[in-house]
């Protein structure tokens, strides 16, 4: 396995952080884990420190305040790249991204620059979502795909693997989206850098502990920004080489 770093951003994930780290360590024992905590008031950062003390493969990056998912990932990418990791993984702390499916994504990353865990390709699925949540997610992906001329099916999904090569080509200093729009912005930069982007089917599971940070206002703001990008020509002028799904054997 390449030198892999699994990045887990946290904000008030006290009930989830221990179990999710344990599942990651069991699924990919050779990988390292970086918890990026945005000064959670519920004590998540303290629990992260305890995990670090008990496992040399676990690290923590304490941020001073809650500044958005994108800011957390960008700082974590810089941390990982400066330490020579070959593969950097995005994974949610709430259990919606199954660590048990990470080996399949990493296998696909052996021949791809960017691997996206996809809910909306054949074999992908969502568990425990009401119809309106599913419609909102699929609708956001379809709208973004059309207006930005993207080929990928799940443009808002956050379970991803980036190669070191990809992140160095993507001009991360130009990423200015910190919230829900961050995943779309990252994909758009990957496409514009003509990277090989592959989607692998995953099962997305709604969280059972803690509260979701998603809201209608956040989605509306993201779609407004996507619309602006489309109208001002930021969309992909020529799509990167892409595949709808990878045959991972799992």
Digit-coded pLDDT (tens) for 82-117? 999 999 999 999 999 999 999 999 999 999 999 999
Sequence-separated contacts (24+) of 173-178 with Cβ below 8 Å: 175/70, 175/74, 177/70, 177/222, 177/225, 178/67, 178/68, 178/69, 178/70, 178/71
- Tell me the three-class secondary structure of the chain, residue by residue: CCCEEEEEEECCCHHHHHHHHHHHHHHCCCCEEEEEECCCCCCHHHHHHHHHHHCCCEEEEECCCCCCHHHHHHHHHHHHHHCCCCEEEECCCCCCECHHHHHHHHHHCCCCCEEEEECCCCCCEEECCCHHHHHHHHHHHHHHHHHHCCCCCCCCCCCEEEEHHHHHHCCHHHCCCCCCCHHHHHHHHHHHCCCCEEEEECEEECCCCCCCCCCHHHHHHHHHHHHHHHHCCCCCCCCCCEECCCCCCC
| C-beta of residue 4 within 8 angstroms of C-beta of residue 32 | yes
The whole-model pTM stands at 0.88
The pLDDT of 66-71, averaged and rounded, is 89
The percent of residues in the chain predicted with pLDDT above 70, rounded, is: 87
What rounded mean pLDDT belongs to the chain? Answer: 88
Reported as a pLDDT band with limits 50, 70 and 90, residue 246 is low
All structural domains of the chain: 4-243 (3.90.550.10)
pLDDT at 14: 96
Query: What does the pLDDT look like over 169-204, one tens digit per residue?
Result: 999 998 878 777 899 999 999 999 999 999 999 999
| C-beta of residue 198 within 8 angstroms of C-beta of residue 245 | yes
Report the Cα 101 to chain-centroid distance in Å: 14
């Amino acid at each position: 396995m390449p030198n892999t770093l699994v990045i887990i951003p946290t904000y008030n994930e006290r009930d989830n952080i221990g179990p999710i780290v344990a599942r990651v360590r069991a699924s990919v024992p050779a990988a390292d884990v970086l918890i990026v905590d945005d000064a959670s008031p519920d004590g998540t950062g303290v629990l992260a420190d305890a995990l670090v003390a008990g496992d040399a493969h676990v690290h923590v990056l304490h941020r001073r305040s809650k500044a958005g998912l994108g800011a957390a990932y960008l700082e974590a990418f810089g941390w990982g790249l400066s330490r020579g990791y070959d593969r950097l993984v995005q994974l949610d702390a709430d259990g919606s991204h199954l660590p048990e499916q990470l080996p399949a994504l990493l296998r696909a990353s052996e021949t791809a620059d960017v691997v996206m865990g996809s809910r909306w390709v054949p074999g992908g699925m969502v568990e425990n979502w009401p119809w309106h949540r599913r419609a909102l997610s699929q609708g956001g992906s379809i709208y973004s795909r059309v207006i930005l001329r993207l080929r990928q099916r799940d443009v808002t999904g956050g379970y991803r693997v980036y190669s070191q090569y990809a992140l160095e080509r993507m001009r991360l200093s130009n990423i200015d989206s910190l919230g829900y729009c961050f995943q779309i912005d990252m994909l758009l930069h990957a496409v514009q850098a003509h990277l090989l982007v592959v989607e692998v089917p995953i099962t997305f599971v709604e969280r059972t502990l803690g509260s979701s940070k998603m809201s209608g206002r956040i989605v509306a703001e993201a779609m407004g920004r996507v619309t602006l990008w489309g109208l001002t020509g930021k969309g992909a002028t020529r799509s990167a080489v892409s595949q709808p799904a990878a045959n991972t054997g799992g």
